[in-house]
Amino acid sequence: MRDINEIDIRLVDTTILVVFLSAMRNRKATAVAKEMGLTQPAVSHALNRLRVIFDDRLFLRRAHGLEPTALAHELEPKVRKIVSLISETLQGFEEFDPNTIATDLRIGAFDYELAGIVPQLITKLQNMGPNINVHAFPLHNEQALEAMAQGQLDLSIGYFDFSTQASKSFMAETLYQEDYVLAGRRGHPIFSKPLTLKSISAANHLLISPYGPIRNLVDHALLLKGMKRNIQTVVPSLFSALAILETSDLVATIPARVARANGLKFKITHRPLPIQGGTFQIHAVRHIRDMANPLHLWLMERLRELVIE
């Protein structure tokens, strides 16, 4: 493949890009011609132009039709993105109607949000946008921002630290403030008296972390007093942690909303931590290119309603 600097952009037009995508779908020149309303010689000419531009055969002729080369497979998502952007630019956004629109909504959220606000959002969307399919991905912070930058996510919900990010590329709206609490099974002896750093240090802890042991605000507070947590168990997900809490003497530091929402389901209870500065914010983050996207604007209204409810 030639270097992009050697390619004359004037050789590229929308027609040959659409022919390329049609060939990737249909794998037969006759089917491409029929789909696009072109003659077979016109399709062949377009494919030849693409071969010259990219200095690659792109499609190998086989008995069953056209077989894409490795470069063709690599180019397909890039070409699809270009054609989609051109289409959006020329057409603009269609009038938005949540009752009739059919689309996939891709949301990035970490374990806490997937167990909290995302289920509420899905319930609301089923009633108001029955043809909006939600695809949730366990991504947060840097991973979610990168996915949004690549166009792989529409929205991400969670805690974000923009101190090291190019925040000008994203729009962040605070949904609500959250506090950490200490949770454990009902009847756990640690809750028979007011919580202290000493009693927290003496307890056996469960840590929820997909990346292994990490320090949090409890560890820092204990460290200042010359104490530390005894972390006996580390699990990667929230629900496995809650199931363990209700049947053991372990305790865990989790967000208050999660503890309240799951107290009855998992027979757990919780108390506020005796620590200052345990409040953090949950944001809804979008890429700036979607600032005027009517689906996104409608979605943000639904999220605000959930926070108020």
Confidence at residue 187, expressed as pLDDT on a 0 to 100 scale: 95
Which distant-in-sequence residues (6+ apart) come within 8 Å of 124 by Cβ? 302, 305, 306
- Of 65, 91, 117, which one is at a domain's C-terminal end? 91
Number of domains, the chain = 3
Confidence at residue 185, expressed as pLDDT on a 0 to 100 scale: 96
Amino acid present at 225: K
- Of 67, 91, 115, which one is at a domain's C-terminal end? 91
Confidence at residue 277, expressed as pLDDT on a 0 to 100 scale: 65
Do the domain assignments include residue 37?
Answer: yes
Q: How buried is residue 139: exposed, middle or buried, by Cβ count under 10 Å (0-12/13-18/19+)?
A: buried
Q: Are residues 185 and 265 in the same domain?
A: yes
Amino acid present at 288: I
Which distant-in-sequence residues (6+ apart) come within 8 Å of 241 by Cβ? 206, 208, 235, 252, 254
Do the domain assignments include residue 211?
Answer: yes
Do the domain assignments include residue 76?
Answer: yes
pLDDT tens-digit map of 211-220: 777 777 788 8
Which distant-in-sequence residues (6+ apart) come within 8 Å of 63 by Cβ? none
Q: Are residues 22 and 166 in the same domain?
A: no
Tokens of 192: 């028979």
Range of the structural domain that residue 227 is part of: 178-280
Which distant-in-sequence residues (6+ apart) come within 8 Å of 290 by Cβ? 154, 296
Q: 267 phi and psi, to 5 degrees? A: 55, 50
Q: Are residues 223 and 243 in the same domain?
A: yes
Q: Are residues 147 and 237 in the same domain?
A: no
Residue 221 belongs to domain with CATH number: 3.40.190.10
The proportion of the chain whose per-residue pLDDT surpasses 70, expressed as a percent, equals: 90
Q: Torsion over CA of 275, 277, 283 and 288, rounded to 10 degrees?
A: -150
CA 143 to chain CA centroid, Å, is 8
The more confident residue out of 97 and 239 is 239
Q: Are residues 152 and 188 in the same domain?
A: no
Q: How buried is residue 149: exposed, middle or buried, by Cβ count under 10 Å (0-12/13-18/19+)?
A: middle
- Of 91, 122, 142, which one is at a domain's C-terminal end? 91
- pLDDT of residue 163 exceeding 60, the answer is no
d(CA 32, CA 44): 10
What does pTM read for this prediction? Answer: 0.62
Do the domain assignments include residue 61?
Answer: yes
Q: Are residues 297 and 258 in the same domain?
A: no
Average pLDDT of the chain, as a whole number: 85
What is the bridge-based pairing of β-strands 155-158 and 103-109? parallel
Do the domain assignments include residue 98?
Answer: no
d(CA 21, CA 255): 47
Residue 84 belongs to domain with CATH number: 1.10.10.10
Mean pLDDT along residues 20-30: 89
Do the domain assignments include residue 49?
Answer: yes
Amino acid present at 185: R
Q: Are residues 171 and 303 in the same domain?
A: yes
Q: What is the DSSP string of 110-154?
A: -HHHHHTHHHHHHHHHHHH-TTEEEEEE---HHHHHHHHHTTS-S
Q: How confident is the model at residue 116 (pLDDT cuts 50, 70, 90)?
A: confident
- pLDDT of residue 195 exceeding 90, the answer is yes
Q: Are residues 184 and 36 in the same domain?
A: no
Confidence at residue 246, expressed as pLDDT on a 0 to 100 scale: 95
Contacts by 51-57 with C-beta closer than 8 Å and gap 24+? 52/11, 53/7, 53/11, 53/12, 54/1, 54/2, 54/7, 55/1, 55/2, 56/1
What is the bridge-based pairing of β-strands 252-255 and 132-137? unpaired
Confidence at residue 59, expressed as pLDDT on a 0 to 100 scale: 92
Q: Are residues 21 and 77 in the same domain?
A: yes
Query: 144 near 272, Cβ under 8 Å?
Result: no
Closest CA to 135 of 106, 115, 111: 106
Q: Are residues 83 and 119 in the same domain?
A: no
Confidence at residue 10, expressed as pLDDT on a 0 to 100 scale: 67
Do the domain assignments include residue 97?
Answer: no
Q: Are residues 51 and 193 in the same domain?
A: no
Q: Are residues 199 and 236 in the same domain?
A: yes
Do the domain assignments include residue 139?
Answer: yes
